[in-house]
Every structure is written in structure tokens, then in C-alpha cells.
């Protein structure tokens, strides 16, 4: 039988491709973003307890009320916003589902969606599946900053959504308050929805404050923000996250969510609700990863890779143009095969495959692994 593909040109996600290649060649895997160490035993014990105690049936559709309350309290404390725990927060199967659900609920056929590229790879296919039209705005090395006037020139009467991601994967840049005010200015008095992917909200460096859309009431009034427990609590395999949006947008979000997953893992929601009562469990994350970033930078200091400034996320991108002029996909492949370290080529995050000779390393790893990788990278 012949079927018509909805995504005829789509390839397997680079994270699957590079992790498989790393495994195949026994390379140190600094490609796909996940820690190589375990999450807190306290959190694991809590999951075990709730499973044993019989909390094994469906959670409520919007999330376990105790967990929604914890998120409400965290948002109030960190961003000064009062969102409604029951009506404006929904637990999801990771940020990926939150993003997919938000786009499915809010983007219609022929709507334009402005993407800031390099853009995380799940954004574009979700837009295309809805019949939406991705409109890329390209950032450039080494600073990957948005020129808001240039971005504004892409806005048309058909623009339905602008997607942002700060701290930014893969560049590690972080939006300032001025960036957010520019976004607010551009969207003011329009029907544009902002989808703000904030999965690295706690991973910002140098004592900077994460500029969530939740800090800006006028901006939040048109926004859906997405978050991931996996990034915050070192358990990407649990695939739990959440979305926050004003009620009129969350109502639409839930129309899709209820038939997309209905609800997500219950015992883990109980465990997270209890674990989050201690805010040190997430507020310490910036200094935890800053140490790893600095350790990795030290380990590659004498190499020919030129680091791109990383102000947030657990990714260090590097410019390899002093080493090779190969396309980044080829270089990343050869790095894995011949030198034993796997990385992500950045061009895959551009619609037009812009190749600036930059690859991304994940430093959410033990010092031991970072040191070994550093030794290999310094020999190139
Ligand atoms: N957005 C960005 C920018 C990411 O890096 C990731 C990867 N974790 C996600 C969304 C997806 O998060 P999750 O694993 O919770 O689905
Ligand atoms: N977010 C992770 C990264 O950027 C990958 C998650 C995935 O494999 N889908 O590496």
C-alpha cells in the first residue's frame, strides 16, 4: 500500500543518530543531552514509596493537585506571578509533549510561526503537522543574539506564534530583560501567541536571573511556557514536565492534552510534589552545572576548539574551524568514529542547514568523563 507521508523530508532525530553512533563506536557520548550520573536517591525512594503505597491509577488530567500547588508556589516565589494552580498549570509527558500539544491546540493551517534558529528539533515538525508555516529567523555565531528589529520584519498578519527558548539549546545564550521587553513590544496589540520553552530555567550562570515570560504580565497574557522535570532533577528518562498558560490558552491546550495523553505518571508526580518542598533541590542547579561547565572548559583549554560563551543550559558549543573545514555533520561523525567523542552538529537545528563549523557538547557528566573527553579532544 502507498501512503502519503505527512513529513516526507523528515529524518530521524539527531539525538537518536548520534547516541547510536557513540554506542556503536564505544565513544564518550557528549551528544544527546542527559546526565551520566543518577538522580537523587531521596527522589527515587519517594517514587518507590508511592508505588508501594498503591498510588498507581490515573492522575487527574491537569496533574496531581499537590504538584500543581508546588509549581504555583515556585512560580510565585521565583517570578512574582500568581497563576492559578488548577486552571493554568498542566502536567505533561516531558516538555516535548507540552510543546507538541501547545502547537497542535493553537496553530492552524497556513498560520505562520516564527522560529529562532538554531531551534530545538521538535518544534518544526509539530508546526508542519498542523499545516502551519515555519518562518525561520537565523542567529549567527559567536554571540547568537536576536536583532529584534530584524525579527520584527518577519511578522505578517498571518503570524500566529513566536517560539523562544532561553536559556537556549544549543548556543547557551540567555535572554536579558531587554530581550523580553522587545518581544513584548513586538507582540503588543497583536494576536500573536508566544511559546516559551524554558526547560533550562534553573541552569543559568554567573548569578544571572532567568527571564521567564512569567515575569512579564503583559507578555504572559499571550504565552504558553513549557518546563521539564527531567532537566531539573537529572531524570530525563522519566519524561515529565508541565505547561503554564493563562486560562483561555490553557483551556485550548487541555482540549488536545486530554486526548493526547489524558494524564501522566502518577507515583512520580507524588514523589516530585514532596521533593519540591525543599527548594534547594532546584535552586542549587546553577552552581552545580557552572562547576561542570568550568571543568569541561578547563579540560579543553589547550585544544584547538574555540568555545562559544555558555551563559546557561548544560551545553557547550565550540567552533572547530581551526581544525577542519568539513561540514559539521561529517565532522561530528568523524569525531565520534576516529577520536571517540560524540557531539551534536548545529546545522541540523537550522531549516536551511546553515553550517558555521560549530558542534555542541553536553557537560552534564561526571568530572571523570569530562576529563577523559578533554584529553581526547586536546589531541585533535
Ligand atoms: N526543549 C529543549 C530546548 C530541550 O533541550 C529539550 C530536551 N530536553 C526539550 C525541550 C524536551 O524536554 P523533555 O525531555 O522534558 O521532553
Ligand atoms: N534535549 C536533549 C538534547 O538537546 C535531547 C532530548 C532527546 O533526545 N529528544 O540533547
CA 312 – ligand 2 centroid, Å:
16
Q: Which of 234, 256, 278 is the last residue of a domain?
A: 278
Question: Does residue 183 sit in the same domain as residue 234?
Answer: yes
**pLDDT cut 90: percent of the chain above it:** 99
pLDDT band at 80 (very low <50, low <70, confident <90, very high): very high
Q: Which of 7-11, 72-76, 80-84, 268-272 has the lowest mean pLDDT?
A: 7-11
pLDDT computed for residue 201 by the predictor: 98
Q: Are residues 291 and 343 in the same domain?
A: yes
Residue 79 in grid coordinates: 517570578
**138-147, pLDDT tens digit by residue?**
999 999 999 9
Distance 161 CA to ligand 1 centre (A): 19
- Examine the domain organization and report whether 23 and 95 are in the same domain: no
- pLDDT confidence bin for 2, thresholds 50/70/90: very high
Residues with Cβ within 8 Å of 59's Cβ and at least 6 positions away in sequence, in order, are 91, 263, 264, 265, 266, 269
Average pLDDT, integer, range 97-124: 98
Which letter, b or e, does each residue of 70-83 get, where b requires 16 or more Cβ atoms within 10 Å of its Cβ? bbbebbeebbebeb
In a domain, 5, yes or no: no
Torsion, Cα of 126, 362, 197, 125 (10° steps): -10
Q: What is the pLDDT of residue 18?
A: 97
Question: Same structural domain for residues 129 and 236?
Answer: yes
Residues 158-164, mean pLDDT to the nearest whole number: 98
- Phi and psi angles of residue 160, each rounded to the nearest 5 degrees, phi first: -100, -30
Query: Across residues 319-339, what is the average pLDDT?
Result: 98
Would you say 299 and 370 are in contact if contact means Cβ atoms under 8 Å apart? Answer: yes
Q: What atom in ligand 1 is closest to the CA of residue 99?
A: 10
Q: Quick check: is 168 in a domain?
A: yes
48: its cell numbers: 518507590
DSSP letters, 299-314, are HTTTSS-EEPP--BSS
Q: Which CATH number characterizes residue 327's domain?
A: 3.90.1150.10
Question: Which tens digit of pLDDT belongs to each residue from 295-322?
Answer: 999 999 999 999 999 999 999 999 999 9
Structural domain span for residue 298:
14-32+284-378
Name the domain boundary from 226, 246, 278: 278
CATH code of residue 167: 3.40.640.10
| Sign of the alpha-carbon torsion through 55, 56, 61, 67 | positive
Q: Of 378, 15, 379, 33, whose CA–CA distance to 200 is shortest?
A: 33
Average pLDDT of the residues in 8-36: 96
**How many CA within 13 A on the CB side of residue 120?**
25
Contact, 359 vs 118, CB < 8 A? Answer: no
Q: Is 33 in the pocket of ligand 2 (CB under 6 A)?
A: yes
Q: What is the pLDDT of residues 360-370, one digit of tens each?
A: 999 999 999 99
Same domain for 293 and 270: no
256 and 290 in one domain?
no
How would residue 339 be classed by pLDDT, with cut points 50, 70 and 90? very high
Distance from Cα 148 to the centre of ligand 2, integer Å:
27
pLDDT of 86 reads: 98
Confidence label for 13 from pLDDT (cuts 50, 70 and 90): very high
User: 311 and 267: one domain?
Assistant: no
- In degrees, rounded to 5, the angle at the alpha carbon of residue 200 between the alpha carbons of residues 286 and 332 is 100
| pLDDT tens column, 181-207 | 999 999 999 999 999 999 999 999 999
Average of per-residue pLDDT across 244-253: 98
Q: Is residue 127 part of a domain?
A: yes
Phi-psi group of 228: left, alpha or beta (phi > 0 → left; psi -120 to 50 → alpha; rest → beta) = beta
Q: Are residues 371 and 266 located together in one domain of the fold? A: no
106 lines ligand 1 (CB under 6 A): no
| Inside any domain, residue 44 | no
Any ligand 2 atom below 6 A from CB of 15: yes
Q: What total of structural domains would you count in the chain?
A: 2
pTM value is 0.97
**For residue 352, with 0-12 CB atoms within 10 Å meaning exposed, 13-18 middle and 19 or more buried, which class applies?**
exposed
Any domain includes 37: no
Question: What is the Å distance from ligand 2's center to 33 Cα?
Answer: 5
pLDDT for 113 equals 98
Cβ atoms within 10 Å of 310's Cβ, excluding its own: 29
Residue 51 lies in a domain: no
pLDDT of 324 reads 97
Tell me if 211 CB under 6 Å of ligand 2. Answer: no
The CA-based dihedral angle spanning residues 231, 237, 238, 241, taken in that order and rounded to the nearest 10 degrees: 40
Q: Distance from the CA of 373 to the center of ligand 1, in angstroms?
A: 24
Report residue 89's pLDDT band, with 50, 70 and 90 as the boundaries: very high
Q: Are residues 321 and 178 in the same domain?
A: no
CA distance 201 to 214: 11
SS3 28: strand
Residues 74 and 129 grouped into a single domain: yes
Both 242 and 353 in one domain: the answer is no
Residues in the chain: 380
User: Which of 278, 300, 318 represents a domain boundary (last residue)?
Assistant: 278
Question: Do residues 130 and 109 lie in contact, with contact meaning Cβ atoms separated by under 8 Å?
Answer: yes
Contact 378, 302 (CB under 8 A): yes
- The answer as to whether 41 is a domain residue is no
Q: To test the ligand 1 pocket, which listed residue (93, 229, 231) has its Cβ within 8 A of the most ligand atoms?
A: 231
Do 128 and 252 sit in the same domain of this protein? yes
Average pLDDT, the chain: 97
pLDDT in tens, 29-57: 999 999 999 999 999 999 999 999 999 99
Amino acid at each position: 500500500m502507498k501512503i502519503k507521508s505527512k513529513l516526507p523530508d523528515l529524518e530521524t532525530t539527531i539525538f537518536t543518530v548520534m547516541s547510536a553512533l557513540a554506542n556503536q563506536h564505544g565513544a564518550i557520548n557528549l551528544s544527546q543531552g542527559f546526565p551520566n550520573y543518577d538522580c537523587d536517591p531521596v527522589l527515587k525512594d519517594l517514587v518507590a514509596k508511592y508505588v508501594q503505597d498503591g498510588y498507581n491509577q490515573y492522575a487527574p488530567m491537569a496533574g496531581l493537585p499537590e504538584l500543581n500547588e508546588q509549581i504555583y508556589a515556585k512560580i510565585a516565589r521565583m517570578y512574582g506571578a500568581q497563576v492559578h494552580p488548577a486552571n493554568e498549570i498542566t502536567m505533561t509527558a516531558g516538555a516535548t509533549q507540552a510543546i507538541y500539544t501547545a502547537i497542535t491546540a493553537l496553530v492552524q493551517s497556513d498560520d505562520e510561526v516564527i522560529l529562532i534558529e538554531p531551534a530545538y528539533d521538535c518544534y518544526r515538525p509539530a508546526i508542519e503537522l498542523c499545516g502551519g508555516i515555519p518562518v525561520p529567523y537565523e542567529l549567527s555565531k559567536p554571540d547568537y543574539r536576536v536583532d529584534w528589529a530584524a525579527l520584527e520584519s518577519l511578522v505578517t498578519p498571518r503570524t500566529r506564534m513566536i517560539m523562544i527558548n532561553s536559556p537556549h539549546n544549543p548556543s547557551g545564550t540567555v535572554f536579558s530583560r531587554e530581550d523580553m521587553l522587545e518581544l513584548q513590544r513586538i507582540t503588543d496589540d497583536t494576536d500573536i501567541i508566544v511559546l516559551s520553552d524554558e526547560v533550562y530555567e534553573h541552569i543559568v550562570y554567573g548569578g544571572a536571573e532567568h527571564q521567564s515570560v512569567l515575569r512579564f504580565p503583559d507578555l504572559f497574557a499571550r504565552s504558553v511556557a513549557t518546563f521539564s522535570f527531567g532537566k531539573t532533577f537529572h531524570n530525563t528518562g522519566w519524561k515529565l514536565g508541565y505547561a503554564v498558560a493563562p486560562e483561555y490558552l490553557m483551556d485550548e491546550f487541555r482540549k488536545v492534552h486530554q486526548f493526547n495523553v489524558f494524564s501522566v505518571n502518577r507515583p512520580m508526580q507524588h514523589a516530585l510534589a514532596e521533593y519540591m518542598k525543599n527548594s534547594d533541590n532546584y535552586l542549587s542547579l546553577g552552581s552545580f552545572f557552572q562547576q561542570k561547565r568550568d571543568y569541561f572548559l578547563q579540560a579543553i583549554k589547550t585544544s584547538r576548539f574555540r568555545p562559544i560563551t555558555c551563559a546557561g543550559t548544560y551545553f557547550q558549543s565550540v567552533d572547530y574551524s581551526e581544525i577542519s573545514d568539513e561540514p559539521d555533520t561529517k565532522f561530528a561523525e568523524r569525531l565520534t568514529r576516529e577520536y571517540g567523542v560524540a557531539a551534536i552538529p548545529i546545522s541540523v537545528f537550522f531549516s536551511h542547514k546553515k553550517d558555521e563549523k560549530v558542534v555542541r557538547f553536553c557537560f552534564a557528566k561526571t568530572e571523570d568523563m569530562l576529563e577523559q573527553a578533554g584529553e581526547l579532544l586536546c589531541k585533535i
